Structure 1
Amino acid sequence: MKTRAVVTLMRVIVGILFMAHGISKFQMGLGNTAGWFGSIGIPEFVAYIVAFLELIGGIALVVGFATRYFSAAFVIMLIGAIFTAKLDGGLLGTDGMAGYELDLALIALAAYFTIADERGVGVDQLITTRK
């Protein structure tokens, strides 16, 4: 039972972090976010996908819905972020730019939620229990 509580807490915290990043992109304006993506060589339409994935996927993790699928998408997205935007800055970042240490930690957690049988208390558990 203790494991379930800890896993639920981890999933909710990770969901809140992704949600916050998604909200931030909407607050900056998706056009501005897309422009920044374009300025670093990423197709601008990817900004819209990332913003919606972070927001909707973050909410899904908080409530524990489709955890495995959203977590797998986050792993892919974060690996892409490291290799397209953060690798040059190094692990801890340089010149005021963020490094990829947070991305690595989130990849580890999202990978866990993708492959683990225990994903905590949430909608996924309710659906599985009813089957």
Structure 2
Amino acid sequence: MLAKVFKGSADYAPLVLRLALALVFIAHGYQKLFVMGVGAVAEMFAGLGIPLASVSAWVVALVEFVGGICLLLGLLTRYAALLISIVMVVAILKVKLAVGLIAPMGTPMPGAELDVALLAAAVSIVLAGPGKWALERTLFKQEL
């Protein structure tokens, strides 16, 4: 029965995934660039042992913010999702791995479960592409 109700709606699935992921990464990139400041992010990265903390902070902030905008628009979508995937892998390995998938009660840092879900969503976009409703299809008549 649900198959009949949702017939023809599969074209919207990548759009929904892109928009949700865009919202998360635009917000996080905005926070790093304009609220916390890249300097504070660099200090945090240095404390975590991330090499070239200042450069890494700028790269992560820009990948999140600009990559999120690209996902929102459906422009250079696979490239943006790939860069976001790399950021998420590093975040999981450098920050969340020590905490675990689900953080123990009383731990100030959340576990990696949401990071893993964001990584899976980004990888899904890399694999599936932006879908039918993407600006790159309008501008370039194809997925990039």
Would you say same fold, with TM above 0.5? yes
Q: CA deviation at 1:99?
A: 1.3
Q: Aligned runs of 1:96-111 on 2, under 5 Å?
A: 96-111=108-123
Q: Distance in 2 between matches of 1:111 and 1:58?
A: 14
4+ aligned runs moved over 4 Å, structure 1: none
Q: Secondary structure at the match of 1:91?
A: coil
Q: CA deviation at 1:37?
A: 0.3
**Aligned with residue 12 of structure 1, among 14, 19, 32:** 19
**Aligned with residue 81 of structure 1, among 67, 91, 104:** 91
Q: CA deviation at 1:127?
A: 3.0
Q: Tell me the alpha carbon deviations over residues 7-43 of structure 1, each in whole angstroms, 9 at most, x when there is no partner.
A: 2011011011011110111210110110000011012
Question: Which structure is larger by alpha-carbon Rg, 1 or 2?
Answer: 2
Choose between structure 1 and 2: higher helix proportion: 1
Q: Distance in 2 between matches of 1:63 and 1:109?
A: 16
- 1:119 corresponds to 2:119: no
Stretch of structure 1 that moved more, 92-101 or 45-54: 92-101
Question: What is the number of equivalent residue pairs in this alignment?
Answer: 131
Q: Distance in 2 between matches of 1:4 and 1:110?
A: 17
Q: Percent identity?
A: 33
Mapped contact 2:32–2:61 kept (Cα < 8 A): yes
Q: Distance in 1 between matches of 2:96 and 2:137?
A: 35
- 1:31 corresponds to 2:39: yes
Q: Distance in 2 between matches of 1:48 and 1:120?
A: 32
